[in-house]
């Protein structure tokens, strides 16, 4: 702000002398001066920089934490593998498998393994023929008990199978028709689907030879037992086939299929393999 004042000299002539007078006004809503603006911008930038540095530090810390957790997890997995006293592989009615074992004392083992196989399995039910596929992929957890491990390696085994084993099939119609409970209807290009899903957790009981805690080096083993679990049947019939055959006949066909499925609620398990105990 500039203030002008008149001053009389010795000649009596009034001269205008303009003296600059700077007044800083801090009025709400008024724009700041250049110095205050620069100061405010510097403060804002400093604040943003601090926040950015904090966010970067937080991100780096989070990444380091995740890396440490991953390394710790890998170390724990490696340690468990190192602590395993036995490794083994097998073949049998569960397909191919591999596992590890650990002994607490001379009379018992605990074991974990994974087995898997996929097979084509065609079957007839009611008046339909099904092209099926058996999918067995599951893990197993077992406890072995050796009554007299120093004399003979025979053992009793109890455990659970954990997985999504199932038998799925599509009804074929070579003649262009389906026969449901004795009633023949046109297929019309439609497919009937059926699937038997085993429980995700099934108990296992068996006997065997091998996996003896007192043995060392390479050895042979044998297992024979059964897994228990009633499959759940899903039966998908297209609406136009249901309308042509009638719901009662479709239900009777499903019941016939369920009867066949119930026969595999006890699944036999037989396998042989080689084990190496450290």
Residue 136 has pLDDT above 50, yes or no: yes
Q: Give 200's DSSP letter.
A: S
| Model pTM score | 0.65
The predicted-structure confidence for 100-117, as pLDDT tens digits, reads as follows 999 988 899 999 999 999
Q: Side-chain half-sphere of 148: how many Cα atoms within 13 Å?
A: 2
In terms of CATH architecture, what is 85-277? Answer: Beta Barrel (2.40)
The predicted-structure confidence for 177-233, as pLDDT tens digits, reads as follows 888 888 899 988 888 999 999 999 999 999 999 999 998 999 999 999 999 999 999
Q: For the residues of 134-152, what is the DSSP string, one character each?
A: EEEEEEEEEEEE-SSTTT-
Distance CA(68)–CA(16), nearest Å, equals: 79
Per-residue pLDDT band at 176 (split at 50, 70, 90): confident
Residue 68 has pLDDT above 50, yes or no: no
Distance CA(258)–CA(262), nearest Å, equals: 6
Please identify which residue in the block is written with the tokens 């440490």. 68
Q: Side-chain half-sphere of 232: how many Cα atoms within 13 Å?
A: 4
Pairwise pLDDT comparison (259 vs 73), residue with the higher score? 259
Domain ranges of the chain: 85-277
């Amino acid at each position: 702000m500039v203030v002008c004042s008149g001053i009389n000299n010795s000649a009596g002539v009034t001269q205008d002398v303009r003296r600059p007078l700077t007044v800083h006004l801090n009025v709400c809503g008024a724009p700041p001066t250049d110095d205050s603006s620069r100061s405010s911008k510097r403060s804002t930038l400093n604040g943003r920089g601090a926040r950015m540095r904090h966010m970067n530090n937080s991100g780096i810390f989070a990444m380091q934490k995740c890396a440490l957790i991953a390394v710790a997890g890998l170390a724990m997995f490696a340690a468990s593998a190192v602590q395993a006293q036995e490794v083994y592989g097998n073949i049998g009615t569960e397909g191919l498998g591999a596992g590890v074992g650990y002994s607490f004392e001379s009379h018992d083992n605990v074991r974990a393994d994974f087995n898997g196989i996929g097979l084509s399995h065609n079957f007839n039910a009611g008046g339909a023929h099904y092209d099926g596929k058996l999918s067995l992929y599951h893990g197993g957890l077992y406890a072995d008990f050796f009554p007299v491990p120093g004399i003979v390696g025979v053992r009793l085994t109890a455990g659970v199978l954990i997985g999504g084993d199932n038998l799925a099939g599509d009804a074929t119609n070579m003649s262009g028709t389906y026969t449901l409970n004795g009633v023949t209807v046109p297929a019309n290009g439609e497919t009937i689907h059926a699937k038997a899903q085993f429980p995700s957790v099934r108990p296992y009981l068996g006997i065997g030879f091998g996996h003896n805690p007192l043995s060392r080096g390479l050895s042979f083993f044998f297992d024979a037992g059964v897994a228990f679990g009633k499959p759940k049947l899903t039966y998908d019939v297209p609406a136009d086939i249901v309308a042509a055959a009638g719901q009662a006949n479709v239900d009777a066909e499903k019941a016939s299929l369920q009867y066949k499925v119930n026969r595999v609620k006890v699944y036999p398990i037989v396998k042989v393999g080689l084990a190496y105990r450290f």
